[in-house]
Amino acid sequence: MKALNTISVARECTGECQGCGKTHIKLFGAHDTAAQLLRARVMLALEAAAIDGKVVEVTEPAQVVSSGVSSLPALMVEGVLYAEGIVPSVEQIADLIANRNLHRSKLFRLRRIGVPVDISPVSANALRFGWHIADYLGAQLEVVYAMDSIFEGSKPSASGFLSGYQATMKTELDAFIAESLGELGVSYIPPEKYAGVPMDTLYTRPVVSRVIYGAPDVALESYSREVDLIIMGTTGSGNLGKRFFGSVSAEVSKSAHCPVLFIPREAEFRGFTNLLYASDFDSLNSLSVQQAVSFARRFDGQIHFVHVGAGGEEGLERQRKVFEAEYGASTADRPFIFNKMVSEDITGALYEYAFYHRIDLMVFVTHHRKFWENILHKSVTNSALLTSDLPVLVIHSDDDQG
């Protein structure tokens, strides 16, 4: 089923019966045919999904506006606005209600993608990679530069004020974007310069630039709350941990509040036909599996669940059953795949599997941030990571709700 084109706004549920175990649903309408149809379909969806729901209809204009609704009819589930100006089908509503946590997740939405750059060839490659993904998904691409000094920039600022330095860096950033995307045959013009430019010469996919202030790792951690996905280049310099991620990338991988996709310097976007979900017992989380599966299906990809560990481990059958249940219906061209590899070198074994199965993307789901911090400090793991040109997607499942 094709996903709804919805608008999600994170806000606390204000249902009057919190703690009752019911799913709180608000319907916003104007006593018209569309509102009546929405209510009827919601009731049928609740019945089809066997979910006990508390449905509240809101028609008072002031309450509609204060709830953040801009177009009627609208559907809100547990305080999250999922649909405006449309009446979803019964099947779509049932899917929204039953999988509301998945629909709230940033990795599922993927409407706003941020690409932090440092005006380097590595970040230029990440930008081009990000452009392909944003173009494929129909998402907005935001290119961001973190400036922690007012003396940055190759051109002196006449004003001497911080805003002057920001304007200088914005000019350089826009030139960098234009040059980087120009290699793809894409003409980038900053939105503020659209005036007077013939519309048929503009690329319509939104690409915007932004300069933010602060030490890059700290500034990007804060920025990650605003976007659904961050795409960063990997530098290949520094110590073992930094050689794969770069000093800033390593910190962002641990602290970001959205999924982070790391792009090696030589990687080229060819789609994600085969994805490897690196499984362990800590990542045995239904929502995490759903997120990974939904991401793979956005690209019409096949996901491989791969567990690496000692021989004779217990609990693998339970792990396989959880993955299979959340994977959904298998097909001849997209079967359920779960493999166990016996090795003490976890990441080395994963990359061996990736090589032989032509994996396009490695997915690490970290239920606890300490898990990823430990990986960054294991020299054997980092040595294996350094040998690969595969993009790596890191998902912090404890902090991926919008």
| DSSP letter assigned to residue 104 | H
As a whole number of angstroms, the distance between CA 310 and CA 314 comes to 10
pLDDT of 45 over the 70 cut: yes
pLDDT at site 42: 93
Asked if pLDDT for residue 233 goes beyond 80, the answer is yes
- Please tell me the predicted confidence (pLDDT) of residue 370: 52
pTM over the 0.95 mark: no
Q: Higher pLDDT residue, 389 or 3?
A: 389
Q: Which of 77, 76, 107 is nearest to 3 (CA)?
A: 107
pLDDT of residue 399 exceeding 90:
no
Mean confidence (pLDDT) of the chain: 79
CA distance 383 to 53: 51
| pLDDT given at position 164 | 65
Q: Which of 45-59, 156-170, 194-208 has the least mean pLDDT?
A: 194-208
Q: Running DSSP on this structure, what letter comes out for residue 2?
A: P
The fold of the 23-98 domain, in CATH, is Glutaredoxin (3.40.30)
Mean pLDDT of 183-212: 72
- CA 212, chain centre distance (Å): 21
Domain(s) labelled CATH 3.40.50.620 in the chain stretch across 109-257, 274-396
Q: What is the pLDDT of residue 7?
A: 35
128 with 184: CB under 8 angstroms? yes
Q: How many helices (H) and strands (E) does the chain have?
A: 15, 14
Please tell me the distance from the alpha carbon of residue 360 to that of residue 383, in angstroms, as a whole number. 19
The CATH code belonging to domain 274-396 is 3.40.50.620
Q: What is the pLDDT, as a whole number, of residue 23?
A: 85
- What is the structure's pLDDT at 205? 56
Q: Are 227 and 261 in contact (CB under 8 A)?
A: no
DSSP one-letter string for 287-350: HHHHHHHHHHHHTTPEEEEEEEE-TT-SSHHHHHHHHHHHH----SSS--EEEEEE-S-HHHHH
Choice between 161 and 52, residue whose per-residue pLDDT is larger: 52
What pLDDT, on the 0 to 100 scale, is given for residue 159? Answer: 47
Q: What percentage of the chain exceeds 70 in pLDDT?
A: 75
Residue 377 has pLDDT above 80, yes or no: no
Tokens of 374: 């430990």
Enumerate the CATH 3.40.30.10 domain ranges in the chain, comma separated: 23-98
**Residue 254 to residue 58: CA distance in whole angstroms:** 41
Range 109-257: architecture per CATH = 3-Layer(aba) Sandwich (3.40)
Cα of 199 vs its chain's centroid, Å: 30
Confidence of residue 383 (pLDDT cuts 50, 70, 90): very low
What does the alpha-carbon distance between residue 198 and residue 115 come to, in Å, rounded to a whole number? 27
pLDDT in tens, 313-372: 887 888 888 888 888 888 888 999 999 989 888 878 888 899 999 999 998 877 655 544
pLDDT at residue 8, rounded to an integer: 34
pLDDT over 90 (residue 191): no
Distance of alpha carbon 276 from alpha carbon 353, whole angstroms: 9
pLDDT tens digits, residue range 86-145? 999 999 898 888 878 787 888 888 989 999 998 888 899 999 999 999 999 989 999 999
DSSP letter string, 218-272: HHHHHHTTT-SEEEEE----SSHHHHHH-HHHHHHHHH-SS-EEEE-TT------
Is it the case that residue 2 has pLDDT exceeding 70? no
Would strands 337-342 and 302-309 be described as parallel, antiparallel, or unpaired? parallel
Residue 265 confidence (pLDDT): 82
Q: Are 223 and 114 in contact (CB under 8 A)?
A: yes
User: Per-residue confidence at 198, pLDDT binned at 50, 70, 90?
Assistant: low
